[in-house]
Structure formats: C-alpha cells, structure tokens
Amino acid sequence: MMLLTGCLGTLMGSLGISLLCLSVMFNMMDLSIYIEWEFFSGFMYSFIFLILMDWISLSFGGLVLLISGMVVIYSGDYMGSDKNLFRFLLILLLFVGSMILMIYSPNMISILLGWDGLGLVSYCLVIYYQNMKSLNSGLLTILSNRVGDVAILVSIAWLFSFGDWNFLFLSYMMKNEMLLIMGLIILASLTKSAQIPFSAWLPAAMAAPTPISALVHSSTLVTAGVYLMIRFSEILGVSSYLFYLSVGTMFMSGLGANLETDLKSIIALSTLSQLGVMMMSLSLGMVELAYFHLLMHALFKSLLFLCAGVFIHGGADKQDIRSLGGVMESTPLTSFYFMGCSFALCGFPFMSGYYSKDIILELYFMRELNAIMFLLTLLATVFTITYSFRLFSVLMMGTGQQTSGILSSLEVFMSLGPMGVLFIFAVVSGALMGWFFMPNFLINLPYYLKMMIFGFTLWYIFSLLSFMKIVNSVKSLNQGRYILSFKFYFSSFWWLASLSVSWLSWVKLGGKLAKILDQGWAEWFGPQGMYLSVSKMSHYVDSITFFNFSGLMFSYLVFLIFIFYMV
C-alpha cells in the first residue's frame, strides 16, 4: 500500500504544481477560459456542464491537489497498519473530487453537488474510527453543514426566476434583487467556514484521523466558504455584519486556544482564528488579500497538522501537550518544521504569513477605526502569538511522560518527504505568489498607532505573566474551582458547543408524536384506516352478494357444462 500511496500522491502533487504554474501564466496574460461541455442532447433539451478556468480556480485547485498528494503519501505511513486503508483512500479521493467540482464550476447546481459532497464525505471521514466520540462529532458536523446546504438550495430556487443559475452574471442584476441571494450565500459560507454561531463543529471534527485534519479541516473544507464568498465578492461589497461576526470569531477562537491543552484542538482553533481574518478581509472589500491569505494559510496549517500527527502517533496516541514535552530531542526535523510553521502563523518577517496576514492588518489599521473592534482585532492578533509560543515552549522545551525512543522511529521518509515539500512552499510561496498575484500597496501607519500597538503588546504580556503567577499561587480549593470554571467557560467556546446541540433533546418529543399520531390516530383515520375500512366493507358486500367473482365463475362453469351436455 505504501507504493500505491506514494505513486498516487506523487501524481496528484505533480498535477497540483503544474496547475499552480498555469495559474501564474493565466494571471500574467489576464486570461479566463469558459468551457461548455455538452453531455447529451435530445427531446429539445441539452445537458451542459460548465467549467470556469481562471487564475483563481487554477491556483486554488492546484493547491488542493498539491496538499492532497502530500497527505496521501503521508497516510501510507501514518495509516499503514489500518486494515481499511484502501477504503480510507477512496473516501479521500471522493472528497478531493467534490472539492474540484466546486472550484471549477460557475453554476449553482454543480456547486451544490460539490458543496453537498464535501459535507457528506467529511461526515464519513469524521466518523472513520467508529466510536461514540466520532459519532457525536460527525453528527454535529453534518447538522451544522446542513444549514448551509439548505441556504444553497433556496438560492437556486430563487435564481430560477431569473432564468439562469450562473453566478457570473449576478453583478448585472439590480442590487435589491440580490440581497436575498447574498444573504443566503453568506449563511452558507458561515456554516462551512465555522464562523459564529456555527463555530462548534470545527474543534469537534478533530475526532477524525490526523491526515484528514491536515487536508479537510485546514485547507479545503473550511476554506470552501471563503472561496464561495470570493466568487460572490462583486455583489458583497463592504459588509459590517460580516465584519462583526469575523472579529468575534477571531477573538473567541484565539482566547480558547490559549486555554486549551489538546494539541489538535489548539491547531483547529488557530484555523478558526485565521478563517476569521479571511472573512474580515472580505467584509472590508480586500478580496485579493483574503484569497492570498487563504493560499498561504492552507500551506503552513496543513503542515502543522502533519507535524502534530507525528508527535501524537509517536507519543502513544496522546494529544495532551502536557504529556508531549521534549519532542525536539527525539524528532528534530519535524520540530524544525513545526517551529517554522508557527512563525509563519504569527506573521514572522519574510515567512509566508508575513506577506498575507500582516498587510491585511495594516490596511485595516489605516481605515477609520471603531475603538472596540480595533481592540478586539489587536487582542485576537496577540492571542495568535501567545498560543504559538505556548505550544513551542511546552512541546519543544517541556518534559513529557513518554520516552524519546518512542518518537525517534517516526521520522521516516514517507512522513518527512511530504512535510519537506510543504515546508518549502510555506517558506517561499509568500514572496513568490505576492509578486505574481497581489497588487502593490502603500502602507503609511501614523506614529502614534505604531507606539499604541507596541505598548498594548507589552501590557498584554505583563498581564498574562501576572495571571499565570496568580494561577500558580492558588492554594485554596474554592479559588481553584473559580479558575477552572473560567478556563472551561472560555475554552468551550462560551458554551457554544452545548448550545449547538441542545435542541436535539426535542427529538424525543418527535418520537412520541410519531407514535401517537403517525403510528396511532393517523393510521386509523388516515389512508391506512380508510383502506382497511373499504376492504372490510367490500368483503362484507362480497359475502352477501351472489354476483361476486366466485359466483360469476361458478355460473360460467355451470353454463359450460350445460352447453357441453346439450351438444
């Protein structure tokens, strides 16, 4: 199976790199290709599949194939002992196919096929381990995504009145007619990209295998909503409501990541925070920068998950960062990759995150600012730095419970090879894609704003150290309970996960109503009862009437005997 995964991953990665190079050529030539592929025609009807190839679809499709290929190669070693590895690869390929269908289609019908396929296949991947935790996470995931699917269906029904499901011509329609469609598209994007109030499903989906988290929950599924918003950006404009939701998501996920101890959950919350950055950029009209950050984030976040998989797989499947300390000595190269991606996540100079995330924040700070939103955005940005350095200090310089010999055997070529490819792209792609894809910007921040940000960062670090000192000096049980309650409240998304599934308790009421009505009175007075009544009546009439079927047959037989006797 390693040979199969190696060949398949190499093929997908090579095709992805080719599409990335082709996207650069399309961007330089300002070229777009619109293809109509006629499947069949007849009975005065033709079934046509539409394909849109421009630099956005080619670059995103190439990036998806590149990351998918590296994840497939990585899975050959990580999932090598799994007896259902072939089924895992088939589901993974179905997911990639659904993603490609959504990327290259300008038609809402085919977008729905890819969009719905993403939700269904991701559910199969989340419940892959077939235990109760995976089942609960899968149900929360698919129920949250069903809301977005319904929104897409309603938008398709509304577009039917305009005679076409192609979104390329929506900008030529009247703005009042597009308000409902844009609201439905925003709702669908919020569900898929896990923005408030649909944020609970993304940390829960970490029950899936780590290669799935690297592909599905960092670079493809969660960014599908952002990609759809980019396609509809011409009629979106500047949206204050989307801005408030995205900043709230950034703040909530960043604060939760600083209080979380599960490694995959911390990376998932950082993904949620960066999705908030992309949505914030879209809400302010900075579409190119949002797409640029989408590409950069996909590269280093998928590599972060792959590195976390090595740590977890080598640490006896433990995900608590407090028991995974000292990994730098046992896995030096993987730790180096992890450290580089953490720097890119923080926006360290000349890393990929620096070219995308930093310019978004600077252009936002140059606008007319709301004080509260400015402070929340600044806090969410500082949260990214603190949880990244917290991970670095605990994992690299901490002392865990496992021995270094457990982890040392995990650095094999099947793991290090794809991680090395992604690390190279995560380092150099920011500068390269910035030169080819991004327009030039003039950044001129006022001096007082620079000093305000610097002073706020120092105050935050001092406050954080003081809070940690208070936590370490807790002696009484009651004080400890208060601090644990505070930690649980903010790390559990302000009880958003519980509120997202609290309505499921009404399902029991539905079962009782089904027994009383659907299987009770409705059976007696409904079609089934009418059928039984008519059947009983017909049997009664048949029993008292001679001229029924049996009587007629008997009469016909007597008539035949009489005719035969007369002849």
pLDDT band of 515, cuts 50, 70, 90: low
pLDDT band of 467, cuts 50, 70, 90: low
Give me the mean pLDDT over the 4-24 stretch: 87
20 versus 556: the higher-pLDDT residue is: 20
Indicate the average pLDDT of the chain.
78
Give me the mean pLDDT over the 303-330 stretch: 80
- Residue 152 contacts residue 111 (beta carbons within 8 Å): yes
Question: What confidence score (pLDDT) does residue 264 get?
Answer: 86
Give me the mean pLDDT over the 194-199 stretch: 83
Question: What confidence score (pLDDT) does residue 393 get?
Answer: 80
Question: What confidence score (pLDDT) does residue 477 get?
Answer: 45
**Long-range Cβ pairs for the range 389-393 (8 Å, 24+):** 389/342, 389/346, 390/258, 391/263, 391/266, 391/321, 391/342, 392/339, 392/342
Give me the mean pLDDT over the 549-553 stretch: 64
Query: Per mean pLDDT, which of 205-219, 244-258, 480-494, 534-548 is the most reliable?
Result: 244-258
Please report the DSSP string for 347-360 in residue order.
T-TTSHHHHHHHHH
Query: Per mean pLDDT, which of 44-48, 349-353, 519-523 is the most reliable?
Result: 349-353
pLDDT band of 403, cuts 50, 70, 90: very low
Q: How many CB atoms lie within 10 A of CB 76?
A: 23
Mapped onto helix, strand or coil, the DSSP state of residue 468 is helix
Angle formed at CA 321 by CA 217 and CA 304, multiple of 5 degrees: 35
Question: What confidence score (pLDDT) does residue 406 get?
Answer: 46
Measured torsion, CA atoms of residues 56, 431, 450, 373, in degrees rounded to the nearest 10? 20
399 versus 169: the higher-pLDDT residue is: 169
Question: What confidence score (pLDDT) does residue 213 get?
Answer: 83
Question: What confidence score (pLDDT) does residue 333 get?
Answer: 86
pLDDT tens across 225-238, in order? 888 888 888 777 77
pLDDT tens across 498-512, in order? 555 555 555 566 566
**Computed from CA positions of residues 233, 238, 242, 244, in that sequence, does the dihedral angle turn out positive or negative?**
positive
Question: What confidence score (pLDDT) does residue 404 get?
Answer: 45
pLDDT tens across 253-296, in order? 888 888 888 888 888 888 888 898 999 998 888 888 889 889 88
Percent of the chain's residues with pLDDT above 90? 1
Across 22-36, 108-122, 453-467, least confident range: 453-467
What b/e readout covers 140-177, taking b as 16+ CB neighbours within 10 angstroms?
A: bbbbbbeebbebbbbbbeebeeeeebbbeebeeeeeee
Give me the mean pLDDT over the 326-351 stretch: 83
Residue 237 identity (one-letter amino acid): G
Percent of the chain's residues with pLDDT above 70? 78
Question: What confidence score (pLDDT) does residue 546 get?
Answer: 52
Question: What confidence score (pLDDT) does residue 547 get?
Answer: 52
Mapped onto helix, strand or coil, the DSSP state of residue 278 is helix
347 Ramachandran zone, left/alpha/beta (phi>0; psi -120 to 50): left
Question: What confidence score (pLDDT) does residue 497 get?
Answer: 59
What b/e readout covers 190-213, taking b as 16+ CB neighbours within 10 angstroms?
A: bbbbbbbebbbbbbbbbbbbbbbb
Q: How many CB atoms lie within 10 A of CB 508?
A: 9
Taking alpha carbons only, the member of 69, 554, 141 closest to residue 302 is 69
Please check the confidence at residue 165 and state whether its pLDDT lies above 60: yes
Residue 209: DSSP 8-state: -
- The alpha-helical segments, DSSP class H, found in 315-351 are 327-330, 332-346
Question: What confidence score (pLDDT) does residue 263 get?
Answer: 85
Across 63-72, 379-388, 400-409, 518-527, least confident range: 400-409
Give me the mean pLDDT over the 142-157 stretch: 86
Give me the mean pLDDT over the 125-147 stretch: 83
Estimate to the nearest angstrom the gap between the alpha carbon of 522 and the chain centroid. Answer: 42
Q: Using CB atoms within 10 Å of the CB of residue 478, give its burial: 0 to 12 exposed, 13 to 18 middle, 19+ buried.
A: exposed
Mapped onto helix, strand or coil, the DSSP state of residue 401 is coil
Give me the mean pLDDT over the 107-136 stretch: 84
pLDDT tens across 373-394, in order? 888 888 888 888 888 888 888 8
pLDDT band of 405, cuts 50, 70, 90: very low
Please check the confidence at residue 60 and state whether its pLDDT lies above 70: yes
Question: What confidence score (pLDDT) does residue 119 get?
Answer: 85
Residue 290 and residue 384: Cα distance in Å, rounded?
18
Question: What confidence score (pLDDT) does residue 476 get?
Answer: 46
Please check the confidence at residue 97 and state whether its pLDDT lies above 60: yes
Domain residue spans of the chain: 1-236, 237-305+313-445, 526-566
